[in-house]
Chains A and B, each alone.
Chain A
Amino acid sequence: MLKTKSIHSPGNIILSSKENFVRRLSGFLGRGFLFLVTSTAAVAILFIIYFIAKDAIPFFQIRENAFAEFFTNSHWYPSAEPVQFGVLAIIIGSALVALGAIVVAVPLGVAASVYLSDVLPFSIRQFVKPVIEILAAIPSVAYGFFALVVFAPLLQKQGGTLLSVVWWILAIPLSFLAVMVLSDLLTSKMSSEKRRKTGRAVLVVILSGCVFWALYSVGGALNNLNITTGTNALNVSIILGIMALPTVVSVSEDALQAVGRDFRQGSYALGATRAETVIKVVLPAASSGILAAVLLGVMRALGETMVVWMASGNAAQIPVPWYNFLEPIRTLPATIAGDMGEADHVLGSARYHVLFAMGLVLLLFSLFCNLVSEWVVSRQMKKLRGGA
């Protein structure tokens, strides 16, 4: 005889009250267990905030006037006598490379995501996606190594030429377009067709002359640029921009996809071209999602350690003028990583705690960015759902 007590045997479909109780209890306990395990993630983030703050706060207690020194002094001399822990230059360095990375990543990333979501057919998109995934997957230390060993010497030796080539590649098509559109707009008010044509031709010639002269002088200036060191803010910005690209592309593509088909079809029905549809309808509707993409890109650039540690030159100084990207700078993560080796055997010193204070600044900023981007995305979702 088979003795089965499981629910599979038809005889036991109705449970006794004891069995029922055991079942409910085990179900409850099971759920509790699952909940506990799941909350590990929540506990982790709370622990991270707590433990970073716990080691950061002593810095502000040990030193007099530490708060003002931390944020307004730009002299970082952690092992000099007297010691100075001014982090301003380092914060500015971080902000600078984040800005540079955004300048590289956002135009490229948004253009690429628009192309992926609105122009490319699905079959080709499948081949482009892995490119983005691989860009995201390459370890940061490999990017840093590339920046230090390949890119920095190139920038130092042929930086001027390189920059002017990039300038020409970017500027020529854009300025050509600008000339066409401008001359078209300026002549659109003219009455007769014939006058409009001649006016346009004249304007095109004049404008392109001016534009070419401007381009040429800028290109020449770039070509003669003397780059003293290849490990500078420009190098790091470009590499960080490339690293932030996948984030920007995937988040803004999600945002563009979230804008429904009906928006696009409505715009096409009114006679708009694809460009006009994207620029005037899709992008505004997805603007908050793209803002989230920018924020996440900033976070990626700010939080990156290896690239800036290896290739930024690690000079704690504010460039003169501040937008001089050709000077070496120093960033928060690089300072934490680089100085901990000298600080962790003097546990409890101001030098040890100031690094945690920097970590706290970094952490709080990334939390802020994360919350804002999450809020922005959820608001967009709500709006689009309401609007559709």
Chain B
Amino acid sequence: MRLETRKLLDKSFSGLGLFAILIMSGALLVILAPIFKRGAEALFFEGTVEHRRMLLDKFERGNRAVLEEEIARVKAVRQPIYDILDRFEDEQTHKLNEIIRACEDLGNSEGSFGKRIKRRLNRLERAETFYDRLKIVRDISLRAEKYNGPVADLKHKAKVITELVSQLETQKEPFFQLKEILHELLGPAPGEDLPVLIRKQYGQSRWDRAQVKLHLFFNVETWDYSDPSKMGQLSYTPRVEQFRGTVLEELFPYVEQNQKELLEPRWTFYWGFLTDKSMDAHMFGGIMPEVLGTVYLTLGAIIFSVPIGIIAAIYLTEYTRGGYMVSFLRSCISTLAGVPSIVFGLFGLAFFINTVQVSSSKSVLAGSLTLALLVLPTIIRASEEAIKAVPQTYKSAALSLGAGKWHTVLTVVLPSALPGILTGIVISMGRAAGETAPIIFTAAVSVMGALYNPIEALSHPTYALSWNIFNLSTEHEAVDEIRHVQFGMVMVLVMIVLLLNLTAIIVRARISKKLQT
């Protein structure tokens, strides 16, 4: 090979390595960027008046006087919408009454036909709602169309009635949908009974979600399945088309012009996201219970694993000189580190819950014990490394001063190894906080009654960030509505883990600097 080619290969070889490093860093950025960007939106967003109303109602937060003023203002802007809806209903009733009058006209005709129509018309008195009456009228028109008597005019009249009824009927479903989406956007209409579900008691609390709803307000989603080889194609048609020629036509330009006035979005820093409990399956409120659960589990795991881990490290480094027993122990520890996390979960279920029965069902205690086993190898290894790094001279000096072995370990070795051991502990905490698989069967639940204090929590199941991220993003009934909560949870979890790891990295850097000098 030529020298130039060899040089080129050499350069490209280095380039390949650089490329790999760049890809790795790029992957990290690509993964973290959306998590942090959209996670931040859970805390920092344009909150609408509904958000402030919810905070005042449910968390007693905010200035009541100011808010009431604001609500009155918004109410005034919203009133025309409900007026238009009322006018539309009036218009519909008016149309129906005209049809009924036409029916009565039919009923006045001679013979058994007129009697039959009249009998049906009598039912109208008992009908309560608009749509009940519409149904009866439809019935009449169907009957009238079957008329095959001598008067030709009647048949024509029946046809006209049918047409008018169909018009009213075709607007029924779209009108319901319109009211439904208005409810989702603005909350209950004035005078409406307060719904039971909290999510139905308020309109959109976030401006970004409100914009999605506004888009759905102006447009109707239609799926096109005409091409069987492809998946359904989504397209939007303006909703106003459904109400051409009715009063409702005015509604759309009005809403378009007053979008912001209807909801009064304002930039909000919702710190309560971290300290509030959730409302109505995370439709409102924060993630404090999940954070608390993660903290309980993590601390529990650390409390169980640290003493064992440090003692094991002391034994392995200071009290043994090899041998089969020790290499067996080391093998076991490294094997334990390689056990898949889901197997830890199965073991926790089979041993801690079904065999030892530390609790009757899932509990923080069972979860902590399982997680403790999971992080044990990490703690042992880190502590071993730290103890090994303590210079031999320290130990010799202590021994020469007459200290016993155990005394030396306690007063000289451990204190100087402490930063290294802490690093291991902190990294293990990050691991324990982030793990999901071991706690699925042993500790985590997605619905539970009350929150417990740490002691009570030991024997009760708990929320946990990692589990609830999974639960909310796959099993929640309105996955798309609470994306911000999911992202917020992921961000908080990643932040906890990263902060712990950052602490470890900094401590380690300081240790290595100390060792160098």
Query: Which residues of A does B touch, CB under 8 Å?
Result: 7-8, 27, 30-31, 34-35, 37-42, 44-48, 51-52, 54-55, 107-109, 111-112, 114-116, 119, 126, 128, 130-135, 137-146, 148-150, 173, 177, 180-181, 184-185, 188, 228, 242, 245, 249, 273-276, 278-279, 296, 299, 302-306, 309-310, 333, 336-337, 340, 344, 347, 355-356, 359, 362-363, 366-367, 369-371, 374
Question: Cβ of B505 and Cβ of A130 under 8 Å apart?
Answer: yes
Question: Chain A's nearest CB lies how many Å from the CB of B9?
Answer: 5
Q: Does B466 contact A139, Cβ atoms closer than 8 Å?
A: yes
**A275 to B5 alpha-carbon distance, docked (Å):** 12
Q: Is the CB of B505 within 8 A of A133?
A: yes
Known: A305-B437, A363-B340. A273 touches B315 (CB 8 A): no
Instruction: A299 to B34: give the CA distance in the assembly, Å.
Output: 28
Query: Among the listed A48, A135, A274, which residue makes an inter-chain contact with B24, where contact means beta carbons less than 8 Å apart?
Result: A135
Q: Cβ of A340 and Cβ of B441 under 8 Å apart? A: yes
Q: What chain A residues lie within 8 Å of B354 (beta carbons)?
A: 347
Interface core residue of A35, A44, A108, A188 (most chain B CB under 10 Å): A44
Q: Which of B434-464 contact A (CB under 8 A)?
A: 434-437, 440-441
CB-CB < 8 A to A347: which residues of B?
Answer: 354
Task: Say which residue of B9, B21, B490 sits within 8 Å of A142 (CB atoms).
Answer: B490
Residue of B nearest to A228 (CB): B231
Find out whether the CB atom of A344 lies under 8 angstroms from the CB atom of B319.
no
Q: B17 contacts A366, CB within 8 Å? A: no
Chain B residue numbers with a CB within 8 Å of A45 are 332, 335-336, 339
Can you name 29 A-B residue pairings with CB atoms under 8 Å?
Answer: A8-B402, A37-B307, A42-B332, A44-B336, A51-B347, A55-B346, A107-B20, A109-B20, A115-B14, A119-B14, A128-B21, A131-B24, A135-B27, A141-B466, A141-B469, A142-B493, A149-B487, A173-B15, A177-B9, A185-B1, A188-B2, A273-B9, A274-B13, A275-B10, A347-B354, A356-B346, A356-B350, A370-B334, A374-B334
Q: How many A-B residue pairs have CB under 8 A?
A: 277
Least Cβ–Cβ distance between A303 and chain B, in angstroms: 3
Assess whether A38 is in contact with B315, with CB atoms less than 8 Å apart.
yes
Please name the residue on chain A nearest to B313 by beta carbon: A38
| A273 contacts across to B, CB distance below 8 A | 6-7, 9-10
Question: Do A108 and B20 touch across chains, with their CB atoms under 8 A apart?
Answer: yes
Q: Which of A8, A35, A150, A181 makes the CB contact (< 8 A) with B34?
A: A150
7 shortest A-B CB distances, which residue pairs? Answer: A115-B17, A139-B434, A303-B340, A275-B13, A111-B20, A42-B332, A112-B20
Contacts of B176 in A (CB 8 A): none
**Given A37-B308, A245-B24, A139 and B435 touching (CB < 8 A)?**
yes
Encode B314-335 as 1/0 by CB contact (under 8 A) with A. Answer: 1110010000000011011111
Which chain A residues border B19 with CB–CB below 8 Å?
111
B residues in contact with A40, CB < 8 Å:
308, 312, 376
Interchain CB contact (< 8 A) of B473 among A48, A145, A184: A145
**Chain B residues numbered 263-317 whose CB sits less than 8 Å from any CB in chain A:** 307-308, 311-312, 314-316
Contact partner of A134 (CB less than 8 A), chosen from B328, B338, B501, is B501
A344 touches B349 (CB 8 A): yes
Cα-based distance from A347 to B341 in the complex (angstroms)? 22
Is B355 an interface residue when CB atoms closer than 8 A count as contact?
yes
Task: Report how far A126 CA is from B328 CA in the complex, Å.
Answer: 34
Residue of A nearest to B337 (CB): A370
The yes or no answer to B517 lying at the interface (CB within 8 A) is no
**For the complex, is B85 an interface residue (Cβ under 8 Å from A)?**
no
Contact B319 A34 (CB under 8 A): yes
A363 to B433 Cα, complex, angstroms: 23
* Binary contact track B150-179/A, C-beta < 8 Å → 1, others 0: 000000000000000000000000000000
Q: Which residues does chain A contribute within 8 Å of B434, judged by CB atoms? A: 137-142
- Pair A37/B312 contact, Cβ less than 8 Å: yes
Chain B residues 334 to 393 lying within 8 A of chain A, measured CB to CB, are: 334-336, 338-347, 349-351, 354-355, 373, 376-377, 380
A185 to nearest B CB, angstroms? 7
Contacts A137-B430, A305-B342 given; does A37 touch B441 at CB 8 Å: no
Q: Is the CB of B342 within 8 A of A52?
A: no
Chain B residues with CB below 8 A from A340, complex form: 349, 440-441
Given contacts A34-B314, A51-B355, A134-B498, contact A108 B469 (CB under 8 A): no
Inter-subunit contact B28/A131 (CB<8 Å)? yes
CB-defined contacts of A138 to chain B, threshold 8 Å: 31-32, 434, 494, 497-498
Interface size on B, residues (CB 8 A): 95
Q: B225-242 interface mask toward A, CB cutoff 8 Å, 1 = contact, 0 = none?
A: 000000100000000000
Q: Which residues of B contact A137 (CB under 8 A)?
A: 427, 430-431, 434, 497-498, 500-501
- Assuming the contacts A41-B376, A140-B436, A228-B231, asked whether A148 and B473 have C-beta atoms less than 8 A apart, the reply is yes
Q: In whole angstroms, how far apart are the Cα atoms of A47 and B20 in the complex?
A: 41
CA distance A369 to B337 in the complex (A): 12
Q: Closest approach, in angstroms, between the C-beta of A112 and any C-beta of chain B?
A: 4
Within 8 Å CB of A114, what residues of B?
Answer: 17
A299 touches B338 (CB 8 A): yes
Interface check B394, CB cutoff 8 A: no
Known contacts A30-B406, A41-B333, A337 near B493 by CB under 8 Å:
no
What is the minimal beta-carbon distance from A31 to any residue of chain B, in angstroms?
Answer: 6
Return A384 CB to nearest CB of chain B, in Å: 19
Q: Shortest beta-carbon distance, B312 to chain A, in Å?
A: 4
What's the least CB distance linking A372 to chain B, in Å? 11
By the criterion CB–CB under 8 Å, are B473 and A149 in contact?
yes
Q: Across the interface, which residues of A come within 8 angstroms of B331, CB to CB?
A: 371, 374
**CB-defined contacts of B1 to chain A, threshold 8 Å:** 181, 184-185, 188
Partner of B338, one of A7, A111, A132, A366: A366
Q: Counting CB contacts under 8 A, is B16 at the interface?
A: yes
The answer on a CB contact under 8 Å between A278 and B13 is yes
| CA of A62 to CA of B368, assembled, Å | 33
**Complex contact B469–A142 (CB within 8 A):** yes
Complexed CA–CA distance, A55 and B345 (Å): 13
**Known contacts A45-B335, A128-B21: does B311 contact A38 (CB below 8 Å)?**
yes
With contacts A46-B332, A140-B437, A371-B335 known, what are 13 further pairs, Cβ within 8 A? A38-B312, A40-B312, A41-B377, A48-B373, A51-B355, A52-B350, A111-B20, A139-B493, A141-B436, A145-B490, A177-B9, A359-B342, A370-B338
* B447 CB to nearest A CB, Å: 13
Are the CB atoms of B342 and A337 closer together than 8 Å?
A: yes
Q: Chain A's nearest CB lies how many Å from the CB of B15?
A: 8
Given A47-B351, A139-B434, A180-B5, A111:B329 Cβ within 8 A:
no
